[in-house]
C-alpha cells in the first residue's frame, strides 16, 4: 500500500512561518492568529497519524510545523505584551497615537 501525506503539514508550516513576520507588524495579533491556526492544524494531523501511523509518510513535517507554531505563539504573546505595555506607558491609545504622529512629523512626513 502506498503511503499518503498528512493533509495539513505543509499548510501549518507555511502559516507558522508567516506568523513570525506578522508578530513584528501587527502588535502580535496577526502572529497569534496565524500560529494558533498552524498549531491547530498540526495537532489535527498528529491525531490522524496516531490512528493509522503506517499509512502516512510525512509525520516529521508535522512535528516541525508544531514546533514552528509554538515558537510563533510565544513570539506573538511577547509582541502583544510589549505592545500593550507601550500603549499603557504612553498614557493610553490617544497619547500613543499623538506620540507616533510626533515621531512621523520629526521625520518630515506630513500626518493628519
pLDDT at 1 over 70: no
> pLDDT-derived band of residue 43, with 50, 70 and 90 as boundaries?
very high
Indicate the number of domains in the chain: 1
pTM, full prediction = 0.88
Give me 66's grid cell: 508544531
pLDDT in tens, 55-106: 999 999 999 999 999 999 999 999 999 999 999 999 999 999 999 999 999 9
Q: Is residue 99 part of a domain?
A: no
Q: Which of 40, 42, 39 is nearest to 61 (CA)?
A: 42
Considering the domain boundaries, does residue 107 fall inside one? no
Domain span at 35: 9-84
Q: Please give the Cα distance from 110 to 101 (Å, whole number).
A: 9
Amino acid at each position: 500500500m502506498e503511503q499518503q501525506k498528512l493533509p495539513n503539514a505543509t499548510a501549518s508550516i507555511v502559516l507558522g512561518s508567516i506568523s513570525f513576520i506578522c508578530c513584528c507588524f501587527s502588535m502580535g495579533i496577526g502572529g497569534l492568529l496565524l500560529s494558533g491556526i498552524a498549531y491547530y492544524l498540526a495537532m489535527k494531523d498528529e491525531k490522524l497519524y496516531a490512528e493509522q501511523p503506517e499509512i502516512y509518510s510525512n509525520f516529521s513535517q508535522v512535528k516541525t510545523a508544531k514546533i514552528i507554531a509554538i515558537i510563533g505563539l510565544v513570539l506573538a504573546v511577547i509582541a502583544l505584551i510589549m505592545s500593550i505595555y507601550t500603549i499603557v506607558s504612553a498614557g493610553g491609545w490617544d497619547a500613543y497615537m499623538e506620540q507616533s504622529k510626533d515621531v512621523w512629523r520629526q521625520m518630515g512626513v506630513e500626518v493628519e
